[in-house]
């Protein structure tokens, strides 16, 4: 496993790096096996230290976790505990997912994703007249659009600790979206129409 431990305006010593490596190695050995790569980033957050840990454990499967603590070790331990909880919750499904034979990936589907700058306050007052309301693209990336079941999509969204996941539904081939609602539940959007209720064109 390739491990990167970095600090944002914080010095990272060999003792902390060794602690992160040993802890992640033991966790992976217990719950999963191995990972492709791991990143741990430490940063100051007010009077606390924040640790963000990311594990790339398989093709398209990334597990993210973060926590804040009074020092580097407390922050990392809390983030690692949350990471272990996520791996424990999905251990069986992750093992089954990797044990299943996969179709060749030459037909992998890709989608473009963009990061947009928030509108400036004066743009909101002017409105969209004269094209002033057009969003500014900060970044543009290509993202693989995975073919998953709804359960697998929810699992990946939870592991990656993201609010939304776009995927192609394995059962019917349509584009679907799962998202985390403010009430803590998971929402699922499936725009495909039932043939019985669709009106003929």
Q: Looking at residue 116, what is its pLDDT?
A: 76
My answer on whether 120 and 71 are in the same domain is no
- Using pLDDT thresholds of 50, 70 and 90, give the confidence band for residue 99: low
Q: Looking at residue 196, what is its pLDDT?
A: 42
Tell me how far apart the alpha carbons of residues 198 and 40 are, in angstroms, rounded to a whole number: 49
Tell me how far apart the alpha carbons of residues 20 and 5 are, in angstroms, rounded to a whole number: 8
Question: What residues pair up with 66 in beta bridges, in sequence order?
Answer: 52
My answer on whether 82 and 120 are in the same domain is no
Query: pLDDT (tens digit, 9 = 90+) per residue, 166-193?
Result: 888 988 888 899 999 889 899 999 987 5
- Using pLDDT thresholds of 50, 70 and 90, give the confidence band for residue 122: low
Whether residue 194 lies inside any domain: the answer is no
My answer on whether 70 and 122 are in the same domain is no
My answer on whether 60 and 145 are in the same domain is no
At which of 99, 131, 146 does a domain end? 99
Whether residue 198 lies inside any domain: the answer is no
**Which residue, 19, 95, 96, 92, is CA-closest to 53?**
19
Whether residue 128 lies inside any domain: the answer is yes
My answer on whether 126 and 48 are in the same domain is no
The answer on pLDDT for 111 being more than 80 is: no
The answer on pLDDT for 41 being more than 50 is: yes
Q: Angle CA(44)–CA(49)–CA(51) in degrees, nearest 5?
A: 105
Give the total number of structural domains in the chain: 2
Query: Cα–chain-centroid distance for residue 36?
Result: 15
At which of 38, 71, 99 does a domain end? 99
Query: Cα–chain-centroid distance for residue 31?
Result: 19
- H/E element holding 49? strand 48-58
N- to C-terminal Cα separation, the chain? 54
My answer on whether 95 and 117 are in the same domain is no
The answer on pLDDT for 115 being more than 50 is: yes
| pTM recorded for the entire structure | 0.62
Q: What is the CATH number of the domain that holds 122?
A: 3.30.505.50
Whether residue 37 lies inside any domain: the answer is yes
**Which residue, 130, 127, 166, is CA-closest to 150?**
166
- Supply the DSSP symbol for 84: H
Domain that holds residue 84: 2-99
Sign, Cα dihedral of 139, 144, 150, 154: negative
Q: Looking at residue 128, what is its pLDDT?
A: 47
Whether residue 167 lies inside any domain: the answer is yes
Q: Looking at residue 105, what is its pLDDT?
A: 44
Whether residue 197 lies inside any domain: the answer is no
The answer on pLDDT for 68 being more than 90 is: yes
The answer on pLDDT for 117 being more than 70 is: yes
Q: Looking at residue 75, what is its pLDDT?
A: 94
Q: What is the CATH number of the domain that holds 52?
A: 3.30.160.100
């Amino acid at each position: 496993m390739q491990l990167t431990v970095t600090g944002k305006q914080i010095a990272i010593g060999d003792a902390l790096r060794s602690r992160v490596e040993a802890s992640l190695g033991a966790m992976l050995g217990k719950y999963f096996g191995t990972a492709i790569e791991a990143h741990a980033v430490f940063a100051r957050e007010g009077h606390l230290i924040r640790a963000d840990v990311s594990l790339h454990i398989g093709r398209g499967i990334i597990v993210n976790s973060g926590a804040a603590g009074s020092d580097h070790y407390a922050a990392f331990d809390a983030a690692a505990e949350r990471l272990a909880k996520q791996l424990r919750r999905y251990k069986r499904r992750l093992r089954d997912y990797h044990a299943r034979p996969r179709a060749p990936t030459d037909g992998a589907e890709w989608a473009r994703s963009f990061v947009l700058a928030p509108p400036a306050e004066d743009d909101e007052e002017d409105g969209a007249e004269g094209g002033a309301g057009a969003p500014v693209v900060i970044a543009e990336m290509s993202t693989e659009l995975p073919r998953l079941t709804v359960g697998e999509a929810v699992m990946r969204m939870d592991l990656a600790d993201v609010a939304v996941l776009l995927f192609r539904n394995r059962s019917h081939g349509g584009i679907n979206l799962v998202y985390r609602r403010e009430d803590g539940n998971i929402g699922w959007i499936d725009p495909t129409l039932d043939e019985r209720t669709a009106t003929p064109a």
